Amino acid sequence: MIALRHLPFSQLTMVEITARKDCEIIPMSVIETPENLKEVKNFYSEIDRSHVTIRLLTSVAKSPSGRHTVAASNSFIFEEPHGQEPDVIHEDWDYNMHLAKFKKRLKAEEAYRFSVVGSVSSLLVCAGRYRLQPVAKGVVGPGLQWSRILGYRALDVPANSDAQA
């Protein structure tokens, strides 16, 4: 997983799978909203342009106090040329959980690479104006669990970084 320094509260996860034998893989990208958030809305949209299709999985909810709106969004990035990417399937599982997944057949010793990009943000209302700001622990309330939103614990993330980034 890579933190994108120029895009706060964003991440890029690069995945490479090498099959030991002929198989079908079904990678899934799941957004599960913590139970303490309110008014959860799940969205799935496809943005199709001449050079790329972006399949966007998004969840929006109110903070426990109801004063702030928080959102998380992610998408698969494929290496295949436009139009040859795997078909992505969206599933709504529950009030607070939905996912995007795709299937890919691999032959023994074949490697397949893709990425998942995601971001978390908060919308604050200030004197009648809306202003987009990164989510901060103090902004959304003490009940927010980062590991549940981001899908990992801080200890799971390698501490190496690129000083040039």
AA letter at 102: F
Strand 97-102: give its sheet, edge to edge: 28-32, 97-102, 88-94
**So where are the chain's domains?**
2-152
- pTM value surpassing 0.85: no
What is the separation of C-alpha 79 from the centre of its chain, rounded to a whole number of angstroms?
18
Residue with tokens 């399937």: 89
Q: Tens place of pLDDT for every residue, the chain, 165 residues?
A: 666 666 677 888 899 999 999 999 999 999 999 999 999 999 999 988 888 888 999 999 998 888 888 899 999 999 999 889 999 999 998 888 999 999 999 999 999 999 999 988 876 533 333 343 344 333 333 333 444 444 444 433 344 444 554
